[in-house]
């Protein structure tokens, strides 16, 4: 039986297939891809005809990957990784002021200083195309692991990272972070925090894991009482300020917005030290435009330090 190789290896079909996996919704995936839902369905059907098996099943309104779909996902990611690695190898010999840089940023990170740097970098190197996206931690590690990003901005150390081989990555510190606990009563004793109600990030996010790691002995069952969670720091602050809940955010977020925050910071019992970092594959450290990007970052911070730039942030919460 002859296999329709062109259909199987269509880059467009595979890209659409991986996007549908990310969303598990034809409507959402089509919107992100900028195509119609029937066009997306047609590409998926094309793949299914080529492999001779359904790639997605449906239970109620929810999509799921079939065994064939899981195998195709593994194959598609491996193919894209191979192509991207080949492109990286070729681009190591290109100029430092042209090409494309794909940057992923953790959605909970205070990114205003990075935003300002990207504006200045773009003005200085207009021939470099910047693709910037905001993702959760799992998505970022997955995209790094599958070579879909050149750089990612993440918190480190990440003890819950699901990468295949951490040794293949390099980290460049952006800012030394810590957790800032915010409460309505500045006289609150730290050991009493476990008795309060908290609005925080979901428990699988980085900051709650840091809090559990550092304060396992202080908080019953290693958990604060958290009836409400949000995924954005702005929402945490707004909710806490308008209720009797307490919250916590990163040091960088607090410094950038403390003039507008009515809650009071508490002195922690232990320092919750971690870092925001640029993370990238070691094999990308020789690509001229990425080397140049990181050198320009150093110049940017040497001209004015990160703390000073944080305090210049003018954004309403």
Work out the number of other CB atoms within 10 angstroms of the CB of residue 123: 8
**What phi, psi does 19 have (nearest 5°)?**
-65, -40
* Tokens encoding 225: 């009482």
pLDDT at 4 over 60: no
pLDDT of amino acid 1: 42
Its pTM stands at 0.69
pLDDT of amino acid 2: 46
Domain extents in the chain: 5-79, 92-177+275-311, 179-272
Residue 264: cis peptide before it, omega within 30 degrees of 0: no
pLDDT at 7 over 50: no
For the stretch 159-169, pLDDT in tens is 776 666 678 88
Work out the number of other CB atoms within 10 angstroms of the CB of residue 39: 12
Does residue 263 or residue 91 have the better pLDDT? 263
Q: Which of 33-37, 51-55, 218-222, 235-239 has the lowest mean pLDDT?
A: 218-222
Q: Can you tell me the mean pLDDT for 239-248?
A: 95
pLDDT of amino acid 315: 57
Helix (H) or strand (E) holding 73: helix 67-91
In eight-state DSSP terms, residue 198 is E
pLDDT at 92 over 60: no
pLDDT at 3 over 70: no
Whole-number Å distance between alpha carbons of 241 and 183: 9
pLDDT of amino acid 95: 64
* Tokens encoding 227: 């009836």
Q: What residues have CB less than 8 Å from 244, skipping those under 6 apart? A: 184, 197
Q: Can you tell me the mean pLDDT for 51-72?
A: 89
> What share of the chain has pLDDT > 70, as a percent?
88
In eight-state DSSP terms, residue 191 is G
Using an 8 Å Cβ cutoff, are 193 and 165 in contact?
A: no
pLDDT at 277 over 90: yes
pLDDT at 251 over 80: yes
Q: What is the CATH number of domain 5-79?
A: 1.10.10.10
Q: What is the CATH number of domain 179-272?
A: 3.40.190.10
Does residue 266 or residue 130 have the better pLDDT? 130
Using an 8 Å Cβ cutoff, are 293 and 101 in contact?
A: yes
Using an 8 Å Cβ cutoff, are 175 and 252 in contact?
A: yes
Note the Cα 101 to chain centre separation in Å: 16
* Tokens encoding 309: 């730039």
For the stretch 11-58, pLDDT in tens is 778 888 888 998 899 988 888 888 898 989 988 988 888 888 899 998
The reply to whether domains 5-79 and 92-177+275-311 share a CATH topology is no
Using an 8 Å Cβ cutoff, are 84 and 277 in contact?
A: no
For the stretch 105-142, pLDDT in tens is 999 999 999 999 999 999 999 999 999 999 988 899 98
- 92-177+275-311: what fold? D-Maltodextrin-Binding Protein; domain 2 (3.40.190)
Q: What is the length of the chain?
A: 317
Q: What residues have CB less than 8 Å from 228, skipping those under 6 apart? A: 198, 199, 239, 245
Using an 8 Å Cβ cutoff, are 272 and 214 in contact?
A: yes
> What share of the chain has pLDDT > 90, as a percent?
43
Work out the number of other CB atoms within 10 angstroms of the CB of residue 81: 14
Query: Helix (H, G, I), strand (E, B), or coil: what is residue 313?
Result: coil
- Summary mean pLDDT of the chain: 85
Cα–Cα distance list, 195 to 123, 220, 246 (Å): 51, 10, 11
pLDDT at 220 over 70: no
């Amino acid at each position: 039986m002859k296999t329709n190789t062109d259909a199987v290896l269509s880059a467009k079909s595979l890209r659409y297939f991986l996007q549908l996996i990310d969303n598990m919704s034809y409507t959402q995936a089509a919107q992100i891809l900028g195509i119609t839902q029937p066009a997306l369905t047609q590409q998926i059907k094309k793949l299914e005809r080529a492999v001779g098996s359904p790639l997605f099943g449906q239970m109620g309104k929810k999509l799921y990957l079939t065994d064939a779909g899981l195998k195709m996902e593994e194959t598609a990611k491996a193919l894209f990784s191979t192509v991207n690695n080949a492109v990286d190898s070729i681009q190591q010999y290109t100029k430092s002021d042209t090409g494309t840089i794909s940057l992923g940023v953790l959605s909970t990170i205070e990114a205003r200083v990075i935003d300002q740097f990207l504006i200045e970098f773009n003005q200085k190197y207009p021939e470099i195309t910047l693709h910037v996206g905001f993702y959760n931690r799992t998505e970022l590690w997955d995209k790094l692991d599958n070579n879909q990003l050149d750089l990612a901005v993440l918190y480190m150390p990440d003890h819950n990272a699901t990468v295949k081989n951490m040794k293949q990555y390099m980290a460049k510190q952006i800012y030394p972070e810590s957790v800032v606990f915010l409460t309505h009563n500045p006289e609150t004793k730290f050991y009493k925090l476990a008795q309060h109600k908290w609005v925080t990030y979901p428990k699988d996010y980085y900051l709650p894991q840091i809090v559990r790691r550092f304060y396992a002995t202080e908080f019953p069952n290693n958990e604060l009482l958290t009836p409400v969670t949000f995924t954005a720091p702005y929402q945490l602050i707004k909710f806490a300020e308008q209720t009797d809940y307490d919250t916590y955010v990163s040091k960088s977020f607090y410094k950038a917005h403390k003039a507008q925050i009515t809650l009071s910071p508490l002195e922690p019992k232990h320092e919750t030290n971690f870092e925001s970092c640029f993370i990238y594959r070691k094999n990308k450290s020789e690509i001229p435009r990425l080397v140049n990007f990181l050198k320009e970052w150093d110049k940017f911070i040497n001209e004015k330090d990160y703390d000073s730039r944080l305090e210049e942030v003018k954004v309403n919460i």
